[in-house]
Amino acid sequence: MAGLTDGKIKGLKAKDKVYRVSDGDGLVLEVRPSGDKFWRYRYTLNGKASMMSLGQYLGKDKGGKVQGITLKKAREQRDIEKSRVVSGVNPVTHREVSKLNTFGAVALAFCEEKLSKGGWTASTHKRSLVALRARAFPMLGDRPIADITSGEILKALKEGDKSGKSIRRELQILIGQVCRYSVFNQLAKSDPTQVFKKGFVSEATKHSKPMSPDEVLAFFKGLENLASHPALVRGSELIWLTTVRRDELTQARWEEFDLDDEHDGRDAVWVIPWEKMKMKAEHRIPLVPRAVELLREIKKISRTSAWVFPGRDDACKPIGRGGFYRAFKIISGKEFSPHSARATFSTWVREEDRGFSDLAIEKQLAHKDKNRARASYDGSHQLSERRRMLLAWHRHIESLTADTVEKRKVVSIR
């Protein structure tokens, strides 16, 4: 029997009962009493005859626009399903598994595994989910991950361009991680993001720029411009005195602090749980007297909230990640961010022989010890040396900003 043509298909009229017309090699067109036509693929696997749907046939509309599954597409899909049958794969089962293994489903599984195994902090997990759902899922979420092409990913990344380079870069990393996760778990044969490794999407890593003495002075003078946001003023100064990362500060809870009230803060310390740290190790930060003073003032502002910096509209949640970032931009311009304080400290403490060990410096910055042998047995926190280091750092800041110190201390608490 000759195969079907569009002309023959249009000539197939509805009957009282469903009937099917063969195109050959297992492909049939089912005509229903309603007049609707559906493609079916008949196959035999392990001695059992089965049939699967390939979609509805609609042909072309009056404008010539193709809608539904054309004859050509149906034949192409038939050939794909036939190749699976020849390989011993049940095409219906494969389709169901593919629905489960969409980019969206695999991405969610990847994110949950990163969190549960300690690869991500809770804030990184939340931020990654937001980025994927907003930027990647609209285009890629429902696509079987094994079928996603580099072209589709490129289109999603170009959409990310509209939101800024940092968003695009974060999205590129996340999509790549999800694709490699799918390959590792045998859900896909290859990583389609590999073609971007040397393409236009990649760009050199930009490290935070340290501030010069004049820029440090200008920054602390600029804190006066945030007088209406006393918590941000004190938090911005606290970043300098503790050298913590932005997320470690925004996610801080009062239970992490021992302000050593018994000895007037002499041995005060901030203990950040390992699950919040980038390097997945508990981080102890000695607090200088000025830091203790700031925290006591902040406590009056946050009142009963468990968060040191509660959200403005909901005290049960922490301040958003952008709060201190925007504060630094307002004060110092686009060039600097909260990480600039860490960069400035790192430059200052290393530029001369200040008498502090590399181990103590790296501990203070919560960096991974590059000396693997030492890292394997060293469980100390170098608190005594680091306390002296931060006291020296505080004295240095005060020497640069002496005329702003008293002004900062009298910013009203509202």
In a domain? residue 154 = yes
The predicted-structure confidence for 347-361, as pLDDT tens digits, reads as follows 999 988 889 999 999
**Domain co-membership, 190 together with 253:** no
Look at residue 413 in the predicted model and tell me its pLDDT.
Answer: 41
> What CATH number does the domain containing 326 carry?
1.10.443.10
Count Cβ atoms below 10 Å from residue 295 Cβ, excluding itself.
24
**Domain co-membership, 235 together with 293:** yes
Greatest C-alpha distance within the chain: 97
Tell me which range, 37-41, 180-184, 403-407, is most confidently predicted by mean pLDDT.
37-41
Residue 102, CB-side half-sphere exposure with 13 Å CA sphere: 14
**Domain co-membership, 249 together with 377:** yes
Asked whether the predicted pLDDT for residue 207 surpasses 80, the reply is no
Look at residue 200 in the predicted model and tell me its pLDDT.
Answer: 47
Considering just the CA atoms, what is the radius of gyration of the chain in Å? 31
**Domain co-membership, 370 together with 247:** yes
Last residue of some domain: 47, 63, 88?
Answer: 88
Q: Which position has the token pair 């794969």?
A: 89
Per-residue confidence at 382, pLDDT binned at 50, 70, 90? Answer: confident
Residue type, 182: S
Cα separation values, 167 from 122, 320, 330, Å: 19, 17, 20
**Domain co-membership, 73 together with 119:** no
> What CATH number does the domain containing 123 carry?
1.10.150.130
In a domain? residue 95 = no
Query: Comparing 130-139, 257-266, 279-288, which segment has the lowest mean pLDDT?
Result: 257-266
**Domain co-membership, 82 together with 160:** no
> What CATH number does the domain containing 40 carry?
3.30.160.390
Dist CA 299 CA 252 (whole Å): 12
**Domain co-membership, 220 together with 187:** no
**Domain co-membership, 282 together with 357:** yes
**Domain co-membership, 178 together with 271:** no
Asked whether the predicted pLDDT for residue 38 surpasses 90, the reply is yes
Asked whether the predicted pLDDT for residue 374 surpasses 80, the reply is no
Dist CA 405 CA 315 (whole Å): 29
- Structure-token pair, residue 95: 């389709």
In a domain? residue 391 = yes
**Mean pLDDT confidence for 63-88:** 86
In a domain? residue 96 = no
In a domain? residue 414 = no
Residue type, 409: K
In a domain? residue 167 = yes
Cα separation values, 173 from 93, 129, 187, Å: 32, 13, 19
- The domain tally of the chain equals 3
- Domain range for 188 is 103-196
Residues pairing with 38 in the sheet: 30, 56
**Domain co-membership, 247 together with 360:** yes
**Domain co-membership, 378 together with 242:** yes
In a domain? residue 338 = yes
150-161 and 165-184 helices cross at what angle (nearest 10)?
150
If you count DSSP H runs as helices and E runs as strands, how many of each does the chain have, helices first? 18, 8
The predicted-structure confidence for 211-251, as pLDDT tens digits, reads as follows 999 999 999 988 887 877 899 999 999 999 999 999 899 99
Asked whether the predicted pLDDT for residue 63 surpasses 80, the reply is no
